[in-house]
Amino acid sequence: MQMQFYSQRVRESILPLSVGDTLPQAFEEWSVTDQVIDHETPHETCELCGQEALRYQFEIQNSLNGNRLWIGSQCIHKFGLSVFENGRVLSPELAKKKINRLMEQMRQEACIRVLEAVALAENNGILLNAVQYFKSHKYLSPKQAFVVLWRLRRNGIDHNPSFFKIDLKRNRFKSQLQGMETSRVHVLWPALTSSQREIAFRFGHPPPALLPTTAISTP
């Protein structure tokens, strides 16, 4: 019964805006545009299936009549809607990777905006300089990364630690890591690559799982 209702909801949403009179024909007419909205909180609704609590909405457009809808990522994959890159239609696997990449990019941009607002509200020059440095260079020093990741966690800001690349190619940055308290290195740990974690271990910083939880000293 639920699947029938769901199919009816989709049918009522897409067919009046399409030329074809069956769902397979209709979906052939629609493709994903490059327009994506990050609402930053999950409160929107998919205009195709009615799913609620969406954070990201993707625009789809009908190639025959120009009609548009804002939908969730799951409907893109579920109904095989065309996703383009460099003028060609992507395979389902590559389409999913592109959609996920777009969502992660927007999530990172939102994270940086919120972090920058926190730095300004707190008049935190150290944090603001670190954010601006990242925006310019796309990586952070270990000391900058600690400040950024610690404030993200302290303020409960949605983020993926892998957003923030840490540079350990320069000797001065390696020296920073070597001289840091292990509790601070553990804040960095989720953002470190496997090879960087090996460097940290050689510097005397064991993985977090090998030590009891310790208090983190604030900068």
What digits encode the pLDDT tens for the residues 140-177?
999 999 999 999 999 999 999 999 999 999 999 999 99
- Could you tell me the residue ranges of all domains in the chain? 2-90, 123-210
Residue range 95-125, pLDDT digits in tens: 999 999 999 999 999 999 999 999 999 999 9
Please provide the DSSP assignment of 134-192 as one string: HHHHS-B-HHHHHHHHHHHHHTT----GGGS-B--SSHHHHHHHHHS-HHHHHHHGGGS
Helix (H) or strand (E) holding 128: helix 125-137
- Sole residue written with tokens 């993985």: 207
Taking the whole predicted model, whether its pTM rises above 0.85 is answered as no
Question: What tokens does 17 get?
Answer: 């805006």
Per-residue pLDDT band for 1 (boundaries 50, 70, 90) equals very low
In whole angstroms, give the CA distance from residue 108 to residue 164.
Answer: 9
Question: What tokens does 179 get?
Answer: 């001289």
* Strand positions, DSSP E, 23-142: 30-38, 56-62, 68-71, 82-85, 88-89
